[in-house]
Amino acid sequence: MLTLLTYKFITHRAWPLCLALCLDIVLGNLWVAFNGGISNPFTSLLLIFIVIAFLLLPPTFALIVVLISILGQVAQIGLPSLLPGQQSHTAHALSDEMLKHAMGMVSGFVIAAAIIALSMYYLKRQWFQSEKALQNARERQLRDEQLLTIGAAAAQLTHDVATPVQSLRLLNEELQECDIELSLKQEFSEHLGKVEASLEQWRDAAEDVRTRRQHNYTIGEIITQLRQLLRIARPDAQVNWQCPERFKTAIISADRTLFPAIANLVINAISAGERSHQLVVSVQLNLTLVDANPQLTIHILDNGDGLSQAQQRKIGKSMTLSENGMGIGAVISHATLERLGGQVSWQSTSEGTLTLVLLPVTAYE
């Protein structure tokens, strides 16, 4: 068969395979025409080409093959009379009974071709969806393994830092009693307090994850917590917060990992704008209905250079090298929000990169 020879030895491209299939169908119909025409019981074997078309070709090319196959069957009614040595059968072939039989054979072929085409299209679509789901599962498993490694390293680091911080606390108490500059004492105590607060927040978040404990936060409380985190992480950046007052009482159920997950996205937006010397980020919170369920939508817009199509597909799903690191913050945020029942996506706009976060709302009056 020309199709198999083309597929195996020449190319896997769609249009040469479609052409080879059409030639196979023409040759098959000529063979049938020389051996009894439409009354040949082996004419149903031509349905095999439709199956092959849907296995090897995109739907558009496969549909062309289906139409060529049907036209070939219709041509079988008058084709034998045009072939040398077949004219003697023409009178019998065009009798009323044989014409009805021929029309029935053609109708049966068309119905069978339609059933096979629809079945193969459905099965192929299900197959591609299963392959895509399996690929996504593999990517999630790899991402989770990477995050587990990072989490273990972070836990070890926190454990190792706890003892030196306690020692620094004792030294700070002694420092406060010494006769040195007051501003130095205050600055040292302030920075030490930030480190201790961060460690305590990490312990609380880890305990929430371990026990699967969730808390109810209003949108107003979420904004307050995020502002505090950003004031510590990026005090030099300007973040414009926008949220209608009537939505600030809506409740989100989540653990404490929600705050660093969203804060990481805002920090990434600040870093993106920093490369364009724009340290202004807009964060807009709103409530929308998604499938009749209220959702908190967070739009984080930076003034950076935007993301390419390849970056938009990979960001948050896998660790990829970038100018500022491995993109670990986006991966952790993506995994955390997904675990909390939310979603996060990125898209380029004329102004920069828009990060869209969706979170389910537990209660809203």
Domain of residue 315, CATH code: 3.30.565.10
- pLDDT bin (cut points 50, 70, 90) of residue 20 is confident
**Same domain assignment for residues 183 and 260:** no
The position carrying tokens 């192929």 is 124
Highest mean pLDDT among 171-175, 316-320, 336-340: 336-340
Same domain, 117 and 6: yes
Domain shared by 126 and 229, yes or no: no
Confirm whether 252 is domain-assigned.
Answer: yes
**Residue at a domain's end among 210, 233, 266:** 210
365 within domain boundaries = no
Whether the predicted pLDDT of 153 surpasses 70? no
Which H helix or E strand runs over 358? strand 353-360
Number of domains, the chain: 3
What is the tens place of the pLDDT at every residue in 254-295? 888 888 889 888 888 888 877 767 778 889 999 888 777 889
In a domain, 206, yes or no: yes
Any domain includes 348: yes
Q: Who contacts 162 (Cβ-Cβ below 8 Å, separation ≥6)?
A: 199
Q: Which of 115, 137, 159 is the last residue of a domain?
A: 137
Would the pLDDT of 196 be above 80? no
Residue range(s) defining the domain that contains residue 163: 142-210
Q: Which amino acid is at 102?
A: A
Residues 247, 308, single domain; the answer is yes
pTM to 2 decimals? 0.57
Q: Is residue 11 part of a domain?
A: yes
Element (H, E) at 296: strand 293-301
Are residues 191 and 284 both part of a single domain? no
- Together in a domain, 311 and 344: yes
Instruction: Indicate the residue type of 331.
Output: V
Same domain, 177 and 309: no
Give how far Cα 28 sits from Cα of 14, 45, 46, 48, 210, Å: 21, 9, 7, 11, 67
Residue 265 near residue 344 (C-beta atoms within 8 A): yes
Q: Point out the domain boundary residue: 150, 176, 210.
A: 210
Predicted local confidence at residue 298, as pLDDT: 92
Q: What is the DSSP string of 171-229?
A: HHHHHHHSSS-HHHHHHHHHHHHHHHHHHHHHHHHHHHHHHT--EEEEHHHHHHHHHHH
* Same-domain pairing of 131 and 42: yes
Higher pLDDT, 109 or 151: 109
